[in-house]
């Protein structure tokens, strides 16, 4: 199905383009009254699960609306024709009150360390909204000119009303700056004094996401994305807020950091900051969601608890059928063991610090790495363009790694034994098969063959396949666990060079499910927080002041859904 679809850009799917050979239950142009009873029941379930264009039926759009299912399998995103572009959507400059580098400093390092795209995300603030957002603009334009092979987005680290921070960025264009500025002035929590918890502030966050979506629909900008940053750090992103953001506009609110930046923060003293990896060292506050356990305030194998817990918050969203993707970024403010120091100047007056100047010692207290040095977000783009990077992120063709653990990852789902690669479904996609069809996932990995930026060649020890039933919407929007997700298969990796390939056959499938993949260097681990039956060898909690990030490397891939139809 859908192979002859033209690529069409979000968020303007055209339901009339649905192929005639679409299964009736999926084809929203077929009214319920014309379906067989079993198809009616099936459609009801799929719609309830968010897997059928709930959106399309209601005249709205959704990633799972039928045209997008086709899109995920169309020629424009044939798994074999993607180029995987590494990037980082969370980077600060001298226009952030707690940072120091020039735009070009970050961009040159990003490029040198292998990134293809990056987002400048200075903190939203009254000063930034008044001065910095304008002043950073020429610096970004100049860096784009200097580094033609690097895509440099202008973005914002949004103080989400009532919650944590998030990356917001837009497609370059004539209204790029105007839209970012209007957004910051109207919806940034620090600018509007709305960071405290509460229903009114939560509503402002939702309104902000909808505003961005409206700016795209009105063609002021060609795309806008929002991802929640360091979501579990202080316990203030409640599950119902995350769901509300996503539901506000699934074309804009697409995910969260699976791993926070600040990955050097746990390097032991005296050569490192000696804190919590990811700068995760908080305890619950009055603003925190009361249901989160203490475990959520620490990183696990460098990753945020929402992502690292098999059967946890991320999985609870995926099990609902909600697309929600993860990323991994540097959050670079000040770089560990770097010698430059913040330049002179008054931030409040100038909206920036002066250019950094040479210092005479090494900053052992800094907790960050340069963009690309340690954390990477790989997106499967059809071309090396701003639009294709945004499309890939929106569609979930994304995997992330730490420390260059692997060189490349290619995960595809298909009917078992069907090697006709045109039917392969890549990360973020939906494989539709007739009920009772056997389904398999193949995982092809090019092992690291070059040293990483700590000058050693990482060794992949194990790859885990995680799968969970799609059970539909939750009755409690604050749910952060799901009972039917677990590690279904682990592959030990014995090879040290070249390409390794693994296949897991799910057998004949009768109900919707999703699968995702992660891998590790095998250095640290423990039974998962939901028990050894769910995750026998999950990541271990990072120890305060004793977390060398290079000795605990993981990669995570975003999910693929499998959708049996009658």
Partner 1 sequence: MTVLGISRGHATPAAAEHWVYDLVSPAGRGGVVACTHLVRAPHPHVAVSIEGLAGAPAEAGDPALAEAAELAAAAHTARTGGRAVLYPGVELLVGTLTVADLLAASAIERVTVIGGPPAAPDSPVRTRDFVRPQWMDGRLTLVTTPVAGGGIAPFEVPNPTPCCADHA
Residues that bind partner 1 (CB under 8 A): 97-98, 123, 125, 127, 196-198, 234, 265, 268-269, 274-276, 279, 281-288, 290, 294-295, 298, 333, 347-348, 526, 540-546
DSSP reduced 3-state for 166:
strand
For residue 165, the tally of other CB atoms under 10 A from its CB is 25
303 vs 386, beta carbon nearer partner 1: 303
CA-wise closest residue to 324 among 231, 417, 425, 188: 231
CB 347 to partner 1: min, Å:
5
130 vs 484, beta carbon nearer partner 1: 130
266 vs 429, beta carbon nearer partner 1: 266
CB 304 to partner 1: min, Å:
15
58 vs 348, beta carbon nearer partner 1: 348
CB 375 to partner 1: min, Å:
18
What is the token pair recorded at 175?
A: 């209204």
CA-wise closest residue to 239 among 562, 451, 477: 477
Estimate the crossing angle of helix 66-73 against helix 386-395, to 10 degrees. Answer: 120
CB 543 to partner 1: min, Å:
5
CB 381 to partner 1: min, Å:
32
Q: How far apart are CA 63 and CA 74, in angstroms?
A: 14
130 vs 144, beta carbon nearer partner 1: 130
What is the token pair recorded at 564?
A: 């049996």
What is the token pair recorded at 459?
A: 């060794």
DSSP reduced 3-state for 491:
strand
129 vs 563, beta carbon nearer partner 1: 129
CB 456 to partner 1: min, Å:
22
Across the strands, what pairs with 555? 401, 519
What do you get for the CA distance between the two ends of the chain, in Å?
14
CA-wise closest residue to 337 among 373, 300, 365: 365
CB 230 to partner 1: min, Å:
10
213 vs 549, beta carbon nearer partner 1: 549
34 vs 196, beta carbon nearer partner 1: 196
CB 391 to partner 1: min, Å:
31
What is the token pair recorded at 166?
A: 């998030």
Going by DSSP bridges, is the β-strand pair 165-170/151-159 parallel, antiparallel, or unpaired?
A: antiparallel
Q: How far apart are CA 398 and CA 325, in angstroms?
A: 8
What is the token pair recorded at 327?
A: 């990323």
The helix (H) or strand (E) run that includes residue 442 is strand 438-447
CA-wise closest residue to 305 among 244, 396, 239, 375: 239
């Amino acid at each position: 199905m859908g192979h002859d679809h033209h690529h069409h850009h979000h968020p303007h799917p055209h339901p009339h383009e649905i192929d005639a050979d679409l299964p009736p239950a999926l084809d929203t142009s077929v009214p319920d009254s014309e379906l067989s009873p079993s198809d009616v029941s099936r459609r009801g379930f799929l719609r309830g699960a968010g897997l059928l264009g709930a959106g399309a039926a209601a005249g709205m759009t959704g990633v799972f609306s039928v045209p997008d299912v086709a899109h995920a399998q169309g020629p424009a995103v044939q798994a074999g024709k993607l180029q995987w572009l590494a990037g980082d959507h969370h980077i600060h400059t001298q226009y952030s009150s707690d940072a120091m580098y020039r735009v070009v400093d970050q961009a040159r390092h990003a490029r040198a360390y292998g990134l293809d795209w990056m987002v400048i995300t200075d903190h939203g603030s009254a000063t930034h909204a008044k001065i910095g957002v304008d002043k950073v603009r020429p610096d970004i334009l100049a860096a784009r000119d200097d580094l033609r092979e690097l895509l440099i987005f202008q973005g914002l680290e949004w103080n989400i009303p009532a919650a944590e921070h998030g990356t917001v960025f837009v497609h370059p264009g004539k209204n790029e700056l105007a839209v970012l500025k209007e957004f910051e002035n109207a919806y940034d929590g620090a600018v509007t004094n709305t960071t405290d918890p509460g229903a009114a502030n939560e509503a402002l966050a939702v309104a902000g996401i909808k505003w961005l979506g409206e700016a795209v629909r009105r063609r002021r900008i060609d795309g806008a994305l929002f991802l929640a940053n360091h979501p579990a750090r202080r316990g203030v992103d409640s599950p119902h807020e995350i769901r509300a953001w996503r539901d506000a506009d699934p074309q804009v609110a697409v995910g969260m950091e699976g791993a926070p930046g600040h990955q050097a923060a746990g390097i032991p003293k005296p050569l490192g900051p000696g804190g919590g990896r990811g700068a995760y060292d908080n305890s619950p506050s009055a603003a925190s969601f009361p249901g989160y356990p203490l475990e959520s305030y620490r990183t696990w194998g460098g990753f945020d608890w929402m992502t690292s817990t098999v059967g946890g918050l991320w999985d609870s969203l995926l099990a609902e059928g909600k697309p929600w993707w993860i990323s991994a970024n540097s959050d670079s403010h000040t770089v560990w063991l770097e010698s430059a120091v913040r330049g002179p100047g008054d931030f409040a007056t100038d909206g920036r610090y002066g250019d950094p100047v040479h210092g005479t010692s090494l900053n052992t207290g800094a907790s960050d790495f340069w963009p690309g040095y340690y954390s990477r977000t790989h997106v499967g783009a059809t071309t090396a363009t701003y639009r294709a990077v945004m499309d890939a992120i929106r569609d979930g063709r994304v995997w992330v790694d730490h420390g260059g653990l692997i060189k490349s990852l290619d995960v595809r789902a298909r009917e078992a034994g069907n090697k006709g690669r045109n039917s392969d479904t890549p990360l973020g996609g939906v494989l539709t098969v007739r009920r009772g069809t056997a389904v398999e996932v193949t995982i092809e990995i090019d092992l690291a063959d070059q040293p990483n930026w700590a000058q050693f060649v990482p060794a992949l020890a194990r790859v885990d396949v995680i799968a969970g039933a799609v059970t539909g919407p939750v009755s409690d929007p604050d749910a952060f666990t799901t009972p039917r997700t677990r590690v279904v298969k682990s592959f030990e990796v014995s090879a040290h060079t070249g390409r390794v390939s693994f296949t897991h056959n799910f057998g004949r499938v009768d109900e919707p499910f999703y699968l995702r993949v992660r891998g590790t260097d095998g250095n640290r681990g423990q039974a998962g927080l939901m028990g050894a039956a769910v995750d026998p060898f999950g990541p271990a909690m990072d120890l305060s002041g004793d977390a060398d990030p290079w000795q605990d490397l993981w990669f995570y891939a975003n999910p693929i859904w499998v959708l049996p139809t009658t």
